Amino acid sequence: MAIESSPAVKPDKGWRVWWQLTRPHTLTAAFVPVLLGTTYAMQTHKLHAGLFAAMLIASLLIQAATNMFNEYYDFKRGLDNENSVGIGGAIVRNGVKPKTVLSLAFAFFAISVLIGIYISATTSWWIAAIGTVCMIVAYLYTGGPLPIAYTPFGEIISGFFMGVIIVLISFYIQTGTITSGSILISIPIMILIGAILLSNNIRDLDGDKENGRKTVAILIGRKNAIILLGSMFTFSYLWIIGFIIFGHATPWLLIILLSLPKPIAAIRGFIGKTEAIQMVPAMVATAQTNTFFGFLLSIGLIINYFM
C-alpha cells in the first residue's frame, strides 16, 4: 500500500477496530451483485427470501474475509504501517495480533461454507463447487506465493468472480437456470468492480511499484490508467443503454443515469493528483459509482416488476 505523508491516523477503539477491519466501504461490492442477480430473477420468478438472505450474508462474509487476508498478508510482507492509506489498520494501528486477523478471516470462510451447504442443498451442489473456487480465488488475491493483487490480472479476476459469478449464482438459485440476459446484465457490474480495484491501484501506484507489484496502473502509467478508468465507466453506462435499445431490458433501467455525478467526480479527483491521501475522495467516488449504479439498476428492475 502507498504510504501517506500526513501524521499518523488515530487508532480506533472497541467495536470500531473490528468494524474497520472488514473495510466496510468495500462491502457494497458484495451486496450489489447479489441484489442485482436477485431482482433480475424476480422479473420471471417468485422471490425465495431465504436464499436471497443466505447468498447475501455469505457474499458479505467472503468479502470481509478477503479484506482480512489482505490486511494480514500486506502486514507480513511489510507493506503496511500505521500511516498506510486505505487499510483497516487493526494490526498496525490497533495492536490486534496478526494471527487473530487470520483466524477471523478463516472463521468467516467457515460460516460461509455452512451457509453454502444450505444454498446447495436447496438448489444444486454445483453451487458448492463454484463457491469453493470463489473462496480459493478470494484467498489467493493477496495470499499464496504470487498474489493476484500483485499482477496485472487483479481487476479482471476480481470483476469476473465478484461481478459475473455472484450475479449468476444469485440469479440461478432463484430460477434454476442461467439466461443470456442474466449474463449480459452482469457485465457492467464486473467492469465497475474492476474499476474499484483499478482506482485503488492508481492511488497506490508509487508504493506498489517500490514493492515490486506489476499492476495495470504501474504497467501503463498513471495518466493512461485514469483514461482506462474513465473508459470503464463509459462502457458500463453505454452497455445498459444498448441492453435497453436491443430489447433485453426495460427502459426503467435508465434510472442509472442519476449516478453519473459519481464517476465524473472520480475522474476529476484523480486528474493532477500524485499523493495517495489526495486521491482518497476519488477512490471513494469510484466505489460509490458501483454502489449507486448497481442499486439504481436494481430499483429499475423492481419498478418494472410492480408496473
Distances in Å between the alpha carbon of 68 and those of 7, 29, 80, 100, 121? 24, 15, 13, 10, 29
Residue 220, judged by CB atoms within 10 A of its CB (0-12, 13-18, 19+), counts as middle
CA geometry: angle at 10 spanning 97 and 63, to 5°? 55
Calpha distance 278→273 (Å, rounded)? 6
In a domain, 1, yes or no: no
Q: What contacts 29, CB < 8 A, 6 or more positions away?
A: 63, 162, 193, 196, 287, 290
pLDDT of residue 219: 96
Specify if 75 maps to a domain.
yes
How many distinct structural domains can be found in the chain? 1
221 domain residue, yes or no:
yes
28 is a domain residue:
yes
Of 77, 83, 131, 66, which is closest to residue 275 (Cα–Cα)? 83
Position 236 in a domain:
yes
Give domain status of residue 248, yes or no.
yes
2 falls within a domain: no
Cell 450489489 appears where? 32
- Amino acid letter, residue 207: G
Mind listing the pLDDT tens digit for each residue in 264-292?
A: 999 999 999 989 889 999 999 999 999 99
pLDDT of residue 6: 35
Evaluate whether residue 105 is within a structural domain. Answer: yes
**Domain CATH number, residue 93:** 1.10.600
Neighbours of 266 (CB within 10 A): 26
Q: In the chain, which residues have pLDDT < 50?
A: 1-9
Q: What does the pLDDT read at residue 2? A: 34
Range of the domain at 117: 15-306
pTM of the model: 0.90
Pairwise CA distance, residues 246 & 125, whole Å: 35
